[in-house]
Amino acid sequence: MSITVNIYYTGKNGSARAFAQEMEQSGTAQKIRAEQGNLRYEYFVPMNDSETVLLIDSWEDQAAIDRHHASPMMSTIAQLREKYDLHMRVEKYTQAEDNQNDKEFIRE
């Protein structure tokens, strides 16, 4: 069962966007995408909040998240969060195995 973590990074004066740009340009985000068990690692900007960046981070299971959290990559991420003085709000979801009831509302 996959797990998706939504992390909302909020800062001031464009710092959340600068953080996401540095994560991408430094290759850090790509290294995370290459970690065993990572399914998705993407940044988005909410239309109504220019000081927040949303990270959608999906993993195969909790063991994959635990490996990621124990990796040296977390030190790099923590240093960048400090550099840009970001605050975070986190939501965690598990993937529904059966969405048959929703099929009529989903256009593929």
55 sits in the region (left: phi over 0; alpha: psi -120 to 50; else beta) called beta
Termini Cα distance of the chain: 22
The residue extents of the domains of the chain are: 3-92
This prediction has a pTM of 0.88
Q: Of the CATH numbers 3.30.70.330, 3.30.70.100, 3.40.50.970, 3.30.300.30, which one belongs to the domain with range 3-92? A: 3.30.70.100
Write the pLDDT tens digit of every residue in 72-98.
999 999 999 999 999 999 999 998 666
Write the pLDDT tens digit of every residue in 37-58.
999 999 999 999 999 999 999 9
Quick one: angle between helices 73-83 and 15-25, nearest 10? 150
Please give the single-letter amino acid code of residue 50.
Answer: S
Give yes or no for a contact between 56 and 40, defined as CB atoms under 8 angstroms apart.
yes
